[in-house]
Amino acid sequence: MVELLSSILSQKRFFLTALIVFVLYLLIYLAAVGHLIFTSRMEQAESFFVIKILPNWRDLLFRQRSPFLFEAIGVIYFGSNIKLFISLPNLILATILGSLVGANIALSHYTFRKMGLSGSRGIVSLLGTIPPIISGTVCCVPTIVLLIGLQLTATLATAWSFFVPVSIGLLLFSIFWSLRKIKIGNYKTGII
């Protein structure tokens, strides 16, 4: 399985697909959890690229705000309108999720191009990418609850805690399933 994934991703076309999706997902995830901010009003910036780290960063490095959302320890300013909060655990999580989503899409792309299979299953597999995006919480409540005006119950609040690990599980399963299908397809068509 691993060598099959590796051989697919070593092809430039599919690697590019994975990379583009990875970058896009990373940005969407960070924006969704409020760690990538686009400000309309100009803030005074000393230069285009400024990094500020909190003096108490050691206390905050692994401090959780909500399940799987960690405190930022600093900010990177890109000009006057873009801010990126620096949180190492969140960046690791975003990288893991982005890689898994990228791999999923690249596999869907592969099945579509090489085997003529419908990409719909690949799109379905992306359902697993949604939970982490909506898992971000603001002050008191999950962001999505505010956006759609949902009334939060204790059960829903508890379920929220498991969004990220469930999502990682779903994405891993989806990769495994796609690879299995490709392997069977390759065997039938005599590619392997």
Partner 1 sequence: MKTFLSGRIFLILIIIVSIFVVYFFMNRSSRPSEISEEVVDSLKRTAPTVSKEEDDFLRILEQNAVSGGPGKDGIPAIEKPQYTTASEGNKWLQPNDIVFGVDYSDLVAAYPQRILVWHEIANETLRHDSGQAEKVAITYCPLTGTAIGFKGAIVESISSTFGVSGKLVNSNLIMYDRASDSYWPQILGKAINGAAYGRALEEFPIVWTTWERWKKKYPNTKVLSRETGFVRNYNENGDPYGSYIRDDKGYYGSDSVLFHPINENKILAPKTVVVGIRDEKRNAVAILKESLRRQKTIETKLGEKTIVVTYDPDLDFHKAHIKENPGNIINSFDAMWFAWVAFYPDTKLVQ
Closest listed residue to residue 100, CA positions, set 127, 129, 68, 123: 129
Name the minimum Å distance from CB 56 to partner 1.
6
Question: For partner 1, what does the binding mask look like between residues 69 and 108, x meaning CB under 8 A?
Answer: --xxxxx-------x-xx--x--xx--x--x---------
Sign for the pseudo-dihedral over CA of 172, 104, 96, 162: negative
Quick one: tokens of 158?
């508890």
Closer residue to partner 1 in complex, CB, 61/184: 61
Q: What does the alpha-carbon distance between residue 83 and residue 79 come to, in Å, rounded to a whole number? A: 8
Name the minimum Å distance from CB 96 to partner 1.
6
Options 31-39, 112-120, 123-131, 177-185: segment touching partner 1 (CB under 8 A): 31-39
Closer residue to partner 1 in complex, CB, 54/117: 54
Q: What does the alpha-carbon distance between residue 84 and residue 78 come to, in Å, rounded to a whole number? A: 8
Options 15-23, 120-128, 137-145, 178-186: segment touching partner 1 (CB under 8 A): 137-145
Q: Is 192 one of the binding residues for partner 1 (CB under 8 A)?
A: no
Name the minimum Å distance from CB 189 to partner 1.
22
- With tokens 């969004």, the residue in question is 163
- Burial category of 96 from C-beta neighbours within 10 Å (exposed 0-12, middle 13-18, buried 19 and up): middle
Q: Is 5 one of the binding residues for partner 1 (CB under 8 A)?
A: yes
Closest listed residue to residue 171, CA positions, set 125, 134, 135: 125
Question: Hey, which residues between 33 and 72 contact partner 1 (CB under 8 A)?
Answer: 34, 37, 39-41, 43, 54, 56, 60, 62-68, 71-72
Q: Is 176 one of the binding residues for partner 1 (CB under 8 A)?
A: no
Distances (CA, A) of 124 to 47, 58, 81, 136, 142: 44, 41, 35, 22, 24
Q: What does the alpha-carbon distance between residue 4 and residue 183 come to, in Å, rounded to a whole number? A: 8
Binding site for partner 1 (CB under 8 A): 2-3, 5-7, 10, 34, 37, 39-41, 43, 54, 56, 60, 62-68, 71-75, 83, 85-86, 89, 92-93, 96, 99, 137-143, 145-146, 149-154, 157-158, 160, 165, 168
